[in-house]
């Protein structure tokens, strides 16, 4: 068997797990952008102010941002299959709270839990890629990861708007919670095949705080990384402000189009991001 054939054979057992992790990352984008469809409709029904709607939506981003460095260290320490599965369970609970919410507080708690739960998804996929596939394929798999992840942003606008109109907020978010719980169970079933865990079944000993310190030290010492963070933070913040919350409402207000047309236009943003990542 040639080296290439051996590599393909070895990857066959890893691809299904990779697909599960990418599916988890898909939900990261789905819930991130879903507020642009679900919250404006709820605010009209309940008479919430724009500032309250913005605050409830932002709770996802606050929790997500706070957990990013912690999630990366946890994935390195305990393996992505365990951490991502726990995140999916938390996300499912957040989705249930959001679906059954009868007041702004429950909506906010649901968004907050969703942000906490989905924070480990991207770093989990990247950790798995780095441990499972040849280093020459890291960018290749990363491109696929970001492309499929952004597909969650596509589904969470026009298709989600249609589902909410047809089935109602409660039924839709109960279904989403079920999908998250099912994905968590699938990842837990594969936990012994986590590449971060050594052959003898023991977790590779990497200090949690040491991982955090080393990561921040590398960023602070690298001019290139600091410049990339500024560029990414600026562009991503602007994109999420539009795509993640105000796009549908802004299109309706500025151009006088229907809710369905505004949702479709907002979906095109996500399609553009997908094409760029691909």
Q: What is the pLDDT of residue 10?
A: 58
Find the domain containing 273 and state its range.
13-194+206-277
In a domain, 1, yes or no: no
Contact 39, 31 (CB under 8 A): no
Q: What is the pLDDT of residue 198?
A: 54
How far out from the chain centre does Cα 237 lie? 15
What is the C-alpha to C-alpha distance for residues 191 and 193, in angstroms, rounded to an integer? 5
In a domain, 5, yes or no: no
What is the C-alpha to C-alpha distance for residues 273 and 278, in angstroms, rounded to an integer? 9
Question: Cβ atoms within 10 A of the Cβ of 244, count?
Answer: 24
Q: How many domains is the chain partitioned into structurally?
A: 1
In a domain, 201, yes or no: no
Tokens of 264: 């479709």
In a domain, 46, yes or no: yes
Secondary structure of the chain in HEC code, one letter for each residue: CCHHHHHHHHHHCCHHHHHHHHHHHHHHHHHHHHHHHHHHHHHHHHCCCHHHHHHHHHHHHHHHHHHHHHHHHHHHHHCHHHHHHHHHHHHHHHHHHHHHCCCHHHHHHHHHHHHHHHCCHHHHHHHHHHHHCCHHHHHHHHHHHHHHHHHHHHHCCHHHHHHHHHHCHHHHHHHHHHHHHHHHHHHHHCHHHCCCECCCCCECCCCHHHHHHHHHHHHHHCHHHHHHHHHHHHHHHHHHHHHHHHHHHHHHHHHCCCHHHHHHHHHHHHHHHHHHHC
In a domain, 48, yes or no: yes
What is the C-alpha to C-alpha distance for residues 72 and 74, in angstroms, rounded to an integer? 5
Q: What is the pLDDT of residue 205?
A: 53
In a domain, 170, yes or no: yes
pLDDT per position in the chain (278 positions), as tens? 444 444 444 566 789 999 999 999 999 989 988 888 888 889 889 999 989 998 998 899 899 989 988 898 889 888 999 999 999 999 999 999 999 999 999 999 999 999 999 999 999 999 999 988 888 888 889 989 989 888 888 888 888 988 999 999 999 999 999 999 999 999 999 988 888 875 444 544 556 677 778 878 888 888 998 898 899 888 888 887 887 778 888 898 999 998 888 888 888 888 888 888 88
* 272: CATH: 1.20.1250.20
In a domain, 269, yes or no: yes
Q: What is the pLDDT of residue 219?
A: 83
Tokens of 258: 């229907």
In a domain, 236, yes or no: yes
């Amino acid at each position: 068997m040639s080296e290439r054939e051996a590599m393909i054979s070895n990857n066959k057992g890893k691809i299904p797990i990779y697909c599960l992790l990418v599916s988890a990352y898909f939900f990261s984008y789905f819930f991130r952008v879903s507020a642009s469809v679900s919250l404006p409709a709820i605010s009209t029904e309940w008479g919430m102010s724009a500032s309250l709607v913005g605050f409830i939506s932002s709770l996802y981003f606050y929790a997500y941002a706070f957990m990013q460095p912690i999630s990366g260290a946890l994935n390195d320490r305990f393996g992505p299959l365990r951490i991502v599965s726990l995140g999916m369970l938390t996300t499912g609970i957040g989705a249930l709270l959001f679906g059954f919410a009868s007041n702004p507080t429950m909506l906010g708690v649901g968004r907050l839990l969703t942000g906490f739960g989905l924070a480990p998804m991207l770093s989990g996929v990247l950790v798995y890629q780095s441990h499972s596939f040849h280093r020459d394929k890291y960018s290749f798999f990363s491109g696929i990861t970001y492309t499929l992840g952004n597909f969650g942003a596509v589904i969470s606008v026009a298709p989600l708007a249609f589902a909410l109109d047809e089935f109602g907020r409660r039924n839709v978010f109960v279904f989403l919670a079920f999908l998250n719980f099912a994905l968590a169970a699938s990842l837990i079933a594969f936990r012994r095949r986590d590449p971060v865990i050594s052959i003898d079944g023991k977790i590779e000993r990497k200090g949690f705080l040491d991982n955090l310190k080393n990561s921040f030290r590398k960023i602070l010492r690298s001019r290139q990384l600091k410049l990339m963070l500024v560029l990414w933070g600026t562009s991503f913040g602007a994109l999420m402000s539009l795509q993640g919350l105000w796009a549908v409402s802004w299109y309706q207000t500025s151009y006088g189009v229907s809710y369905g047309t505004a949702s479709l236009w907002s979906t095109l943003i996500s399609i553009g991001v997908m094409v760029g990542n691909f």
